[in-house]
Amino acid sequence: MTSRKLAPYVLQTIARHQLGGRLLTLQSLVDELGVRRTDLRKTVTALHRQGLVDAMRMRLTLTGLVLGTALLRNDLPPLRRPRVAVAAA
C-alpha separations of 75 from 3, 50, 67, 71, 79 in Å: 19, 24, 14, 8, 11
Expressed as residue numbers, the domain containing 37 is 3-72
In this predicted structure, what is the pLDDT of residue 36?
Answer: 94
Does residue 85 lie in a domain region?
Answer: no
C-alpha separations of 70 from 1, 46, 49, 82 in Å: 23, 20, 20, 26
**What one-letter code names the amino acid at 76?**
L
Question: How many domains does one find in the chain?
Answer: 1
In this predicted structure, what is the pLDDT of residue 76?
Answer: 86
Provide the 10 A C-beta neighbour count for residue 84: 6
Does residue 87 lie in a domain region?
Answer: no
CATH number, domain containing residue 25: 1.10.10.10
Mean pLDDT of 46-61: 96
Does residue 84 lie in a domain region?
Answer: no
Reported as a single tens digit per residue, the pLDDT across 27-48 is: 999 999 999 999 999 999 999 9
pTM of the model: 0.86
The residue with greater pLDDT, 86 or 15, is 15
In this predicted structure, what is the pLDDT of residue 77?
Answer: 82
Mean pLDDT of 2-8: 91
